[in-house]
Amino acid sequence: MHLSKRVGGHRGARAPIPRESRTIVADDNSGVDALTEEALAAAAAEAEKAFAAAADLDALAVAKTEHIGGKSPIALAQRAMGSLPKDQKADAGKRVNIARTRVSDAFDARRAALLEERDQAVLVAEKIDVTLPASRRPVGARHPITVISERIADVFVGMGWEVAEGPEVETEHFNFDALNFLPDHPARTMQDTFHIAPYRHAPEAGPAGSATSSGPDASGAEGSRQVLRTHTSPVQVRSMLERDLPIYVVCPGRTFRTDELDATHTPVFSQVEGLAIDKGLTMAHLRGTLDAFARALFGDETRTRMRPNYFPFTEPSAEVDVWFPDKKGGAGWVEWGGCGMVNPKVLIASGIDPEVYSGFAFGMGMERTLQFGNGIPDMRDIVEGDIRFTLPFGIQS
């Protein structure tokens, strides 16, 4: 009676389980079923599907936890291997490893693809547009006078002529006397010519204390006073003295005269002169040379004409004009330069026998030639050095 009361006093309490009954395991085959080949393949396929569906790395991390983490089907299957008989564990382990490798490879492939997509997105977002125009350093260009000088030289070199040069500071002998300029010729005065002041070195003590000077006097190094050459004709004289006959030279260079700078004049300008000395040369050869020269510069339809004129160093002499149909104010003839047969006195002064040899010479201003060929109305645009004006000529050449 005492026992029944005690039990009755704990109504609802469970009766103690016998000790031997605690070792009995419920009949649950879920862990073993997870080790079958079909179950592992299904788990791997589900993992692959989840990884493929991950749109970014964060979503892939969630899928990794579900299919590779400690509670994933593969992990549960691996733990279930402990309940298998020893003879079945080896085969089950192979199946689990195959499934685990399949899942791991799928994860790695998807992660690599998402990383590549992320890197590409970063490159697009942070890219530098290299198609934008860069700030380039300005390039240099030759001056228009240099361009036209080289064109002229090319024309005559193509004819078999040579290019000759000479000093810009010249003696009166080569600039005037040897070219048949008489002593009272107006060009020799200060109104047309820049004369170079004579110079002397500091006096040195001579014998018995006398002072001497080692510098040249006003007569210059070659026996006459020095000037800034007023034309490039002195180069012709030097060529006749220094070169063997026959002579065919073209002489480009700077010249100087006391002119005011205006639309058609400049105190420093460039000339090109030509000289031909050979047996039997006539005005016909001169005319043919000038026609070929003009057409090479201004076009095949260019027309020229000659008008009688006077120059001390040629006889007969002429002015050569060029016909320009597009001249401002209407088509017309424009003076280009001077020409003529070399004066016999000039030949004799250079040691050439005028009875055997004859020659012709011509000279043109390069600035005026550049004006003709490019329709430039004002010579100051050429000589003042404005880079905005001169640059296109140097680039186009």
Annotated binding-site positions for Mg(2+)? 315
Q: Which amino acid is at 207?
A: P
Query: In angstroms, rounded to a whole number, what is the distance separating the alpha carbons of residues 82 and 268?
Result: 109
Residue whose C-alpha is closest to residue 298's, from 378, 363, 369: 369
DSSP annotation of 231 reads S
Angle at 372 between CA 366 and CA 376, to 5 degrees: 95
SS (H, E, C) 290-326: HHHHHHHHHCCCCCEEEEEEEECCEEEEEEEEEEECC
Whether the CB-CB separation of 384 and 269 falls below 8 Å is answered with no
- Torsion of the alpha carbons at 321, 322, 327 and 328, rounded to the nearest 10: -20
DSSP category for residue 138: P
CA distance 17 to 23: 11
Cis peptide before 85 (omega within 30 of 0): no
Q: Which of these, 53, 50, 49, 101, lies nearest to 74 by C-alpha position?
A: 101
Separation of alpha carbons 179 and 347, rounded Å? 9
For residue 149, the SS3 value is helix
C-alpha angle 91/94/100, rounded to 5°? 145
Residues contributing to the annotated binding site: 315
Residues pairing with 314 in the sheet: 311, 342
> CA-to-CA distance for 207 and 229, rounded, in angstroms?
39
Neighbours of 327 (CB within 10 A): 14
